[in-house]
Amino acid sequence: MTPTPSAAPLALVKFYEVGRLRAYWAGKQFMNEYGTRIDNAPMGIALIVGAVFLLALADAAVKYFSAKLPLWQLFLIVSCLSVPALGTWLGRRIRTGRLRITSVPWIMARSLLLLLMWVTYYSALPLIPLSVAAVAIYTTPIFIALFSTCYGGEPLSPSGWAAVGSGFAGVALVLRPGSEIFTLATLLPVVGAVFYALAMVVTRRNCRSEHPLVLALGLNVAFLFAACMGGIASLNVSEATVVRAPFLLSPWQTLGWQEIAFISCYACMLILINTATARAYQIAPPALVGTFDYAYLAFACLWGNLIFHEVPDGFTWAGMLLILIAGWTIFRVQKDVE
């Protein structure tokens, strides 16, 4: 979806003061004059829209390079670029007492959930159109609304529940289970959506006080560990197994200049995406942020058409419309509650 992988997020670490609102982007929350945390919905919306624009572009690039670059090799190189840069910056701030990490177990849990999301979603990209994968993964805001209700203490009204049902109907219309176009690969993004929704609710409930770059470092450490395990696994599987899942299990490749340029850009984009996403869910209600997450659908269709010449069929457009209506309804319900 700079000069170094950490330079762009560092540009976000600013001090703002608007009336009695004070925002400390270096890890603190929006506070009122009594020290009570409050949300900043407009900033959360801006962050999530920018994040999903880059995310759709990054996903299209991963799909494009999936025939040339195994997933674990991509993860290893990206994490080797990101972890030292993030670790050095954060280590310096921790040593000087300017930063504290307070919820390591929850950071680990969040990172594991996001890792599982990336693996399941990226495994599907070489097998199905980008627009279909986008609609399937964008059951995410629906799951976020459900998990926020069950775990996050943010209940849905009857209208909200109707919107959730409408969203799932839209997904069923796109995937069309039982038809000849349906494949098990289309379910992978839905599984990824469950992992992502859980990760974002954990972000909201248990990692709200953590600096976004701490969360980005946790995810990149998870990538590094998974890449090592995946690389070892790719050395010990048969050719028949590789044929069934080439993006996951192919032998690692010699990289050309295009692959190197892609990986470098991808590493920068990944930090920006995860930092902006984490911050959005920290400072705004998850159901609201999840609604604007739907912008990914439009961006995925745009990149899918420009890069792969994919044109969604009528069922896909109709399903997207149902999902967008569901998202807008959830947004309105959340706004009325607030």
Task: Flag whether 9 is in a domain.
Answer: no
pLDDT score, position 23: 31
Task: Flag whether 5 is in a domain.
Answer: no
pLDDT band per the 50, 70, 90 thresholds, residue 240: low
The yes-or-no verdict on residue 42 having pLDDT over 90 is no
pLDDT score, position 185: 82
309 vs 31, higher pLDDT: 309
The yes-or-no verdict on residue 38 having pLDDT over 70 is no
Between CA 65 and CA 56 the distance in angstroms is 14
Task: Flag whether 155 is in a domain.
Answer: yes
State which H helix or E strand residue 201 sits in. helix 187-206
Q: How many domains does the chain have?
A: 1
Task: Flag whether 221 is in a domain.
Answer: yes
- For residue 38, give both structure tokens: 């409050």
Task: Flag whether 316 is in a domain.
Answer: yes
CB 59 within 8 A of CB 130: yes
Query: What is the DSSP code string of 148-181?
Result: HHHTSS-PPPHHHHHHHHHHHHHHHHHH-TTSTT
Q: What percent of the chain has pLDDT over 90?
A: 9
pLDDT score, position 33: 41
Q: Within the chain, what is the greatest distance between any pair of CA atoms?
A: 64
The residue segments making up the domain with residue 95 are: 41-337
CB 310 within 8 A of CB 158: no
The yes-or-no verdict on residue 19 having pLDDT over 50 is no
The three-state secondary structure class of 251 is coil
Task: Flag whether 236 is in a domain.
Answer: yes
- For residue 192, give both structure tokens: 């990824």
pLDDT band per the 50, 70, 90 thresholds, residue 277: confident
Write the DSSP symbol of residue 29. Answer: P
The yes-or-no verdict on residue 20 having pLDDT over 60 is no
CB 109 within 8 A of CB 202: yes
> Using one digit for the tens of pLDDT, what is the confidence trace for 107-150?
999 999 999 998 998 888 888 888 888 888 877 767 877 777 77
Among 3-7, 71-75, 220-224, 242-246, whose mean pLDDT is lowest? 3-7
Query: What is the DSSP code string of 85-125?
Result: HHHHHHHHHHHTTS-----HHHHHHHHHHHHHHHHHHHHHT
Task: Flag whether 23 is in a domain.
Answer: no
Tell if the pTM clears 0.75, that is, is over it: no
Task: Please report where in the chains the tokens 């993004």 appear, as a residue.
Answer: 189
Type of residue at 152: G
Task: Flag whether 117 is in a domain.
Answer: yes
- For residue 193, give both structure tokens: 């959506």
Q: How many angstroms separate the Cα of 310 from the Cα of each of 91, 248, 313?
A: 45, 24, 9
**Range 47-63 burial, b when 16+ CB lie within 10 A, else e:** bbbbbbbbbbbbbbbbb
pLDDT score, position 312: 81
